[in-house]
Amino acid sequence: MDILSETIAAIRTGNPASGMFVRHAPWGRRYPVVPGAGFHVMLQGSCWMVPPEGESIALGPGDVLFMPRGANHVLVDSLDTPITEVARPGEPREITGPGVRAALVCGAYELGRSRSHPLLDELPEFIHLPARPGRHPALRAAVDLLAAEIAEPRPGTDAAIPALLDTLLLFMLRAWFDEQAEVERESPGWAGAFTDPAVAAALHAIHGEPERSWTVPELGVIAGVSRATLARRFTATVGEPPLSYVTRWRMLSAARLLRETDIPLASVARKVGYQSEFAFAKAFKREYGQAPGQYRRAEDKPSVIAV
């Protein structure tokens, strides 16, 4: 059971969106909040990312900027350039001009925000992954492949781009967790959850059998540590106690089944550990604010994200 892949699959909804964005200086573009995660990859030239609060970030060729919660921000060629555009569907991808050319790949992922996951909740609003020789070669390769498909579409591009976007999301997260693990030997948060053998073993068990009536002592046996030790280390890295995470993962798994399959609600309930469809519906509504059937119907309606 690949914890990172399973987690992303559980919280991802809809289809990712991406596109090439080309402007010539001077230019300034505002990106409103999106219902998910967003990213920018600087392919040519340079620019500044200006957040609502805090310091601006300089982006150079090859740099990746990831927004785990789709935060509002601005991109400008220079810090004294006024904002003249707002990202919206249907706008021109390239505007020519006399100034220096800047080319970016911009994209967004839809995420189920009605029930979030601590893996993304703990991340900063903006993650800057600078292009440095020898660092994160897999991420660099995914960026190059995605840029090539967007710049020069060929037969199969429509299938290649969504797959590359999903790969890029995983590689951005992997790069961030790798960097955090290098900062401290005992990394806090999910970087530590992946590297702590006891916590990782417990997570594998929970993800592999969400239908099982887990107890902390049982998870401790699997993890090879005492109940108290597991509870302490699990809470410190994952962000909540083991049994709270069991409930969270059950609900995320149920939501995924409702989105991606048409199996009966009773079957969904059993797959996530509820013998009664009524008990499952009550628990699901408590977490998502709507009944499972309503959630399934609502998720059939696609949304549009501007990139």
Q: Among 52, 47, 86, which Cα is nearest to 72's?
A: 52
Cβ(42)–Cβ(59) below 8 Å: yes
pLDDT at 300 over 80: no
pLDDT at 200 over 60: yes
- C-alpha distance from residue 82 to each of 25, 46, 70, 79 (Å): 11, 16, 22, 8
3-state secondary structure of 31: strand
pLDDT at 279 over 90: yes
Q: What is the mean pLDDT of residues 234-256?
A: 94
Confidence of residue 48 (pLDDT cuts 50, 70, 90): very high
Asked if residue 52 has a cis previous peptide bond (ω within 30° of 0), the answer is no
Cα separation, 8 vs 128, in Å, equals 20
- Over residues 13-23, the pLDDT tens digits come to 878 889 999 99
CB-count burial class (<10 Å; 0-12, 13-18, 19+) for 260:
exposed
pLDDT at 34 over 70: yes
Taken in order of first residue, the domains within the chain and their CATH numbers are: 3-183 (2.60.120.280), 196-299 (1.10.10.60)
Length of the chain in residues, anyone?
Answer: 307
Q: Among 243, 117, 109, 246, which Cα is nearest to 189's?
A: 117
- Whole-prediction pTM value? 0.88
Cβ(111)–Cβ(13) below 8 Å: yes
pLDDT at 303 over 60: no
pLDDT at 305 over 60: no
User: Hey, how many other C-beta atoms are within 10 angstroms of the C-beta on 112?
Assistant: 21
- Over residues 3-15, the pLDDT tens digits come to 888 888 888 887 8
> Which is it for the CA torsion 110, 114, 118, 123, positive or negative?
positive
> For residue 207, what are its two tokens?
């993800």
- Fill in the amino acid letter for 300: D
> For residue 273, what are its two tokens?
């550990």
Mean pLDDT of the chain: 91
What is the pLDDT at residue 298?
A: 82
Note the Cα 277 to chain centre separation in Å: 30
Cα separation, 110 vs 125, in Å, equals 16
Cβ(233)–Cβ(93) below 8 Å: no
pLDDT at 40 over 70: yes
Q: How far apart are the first and last CA of the chain?
A: 33
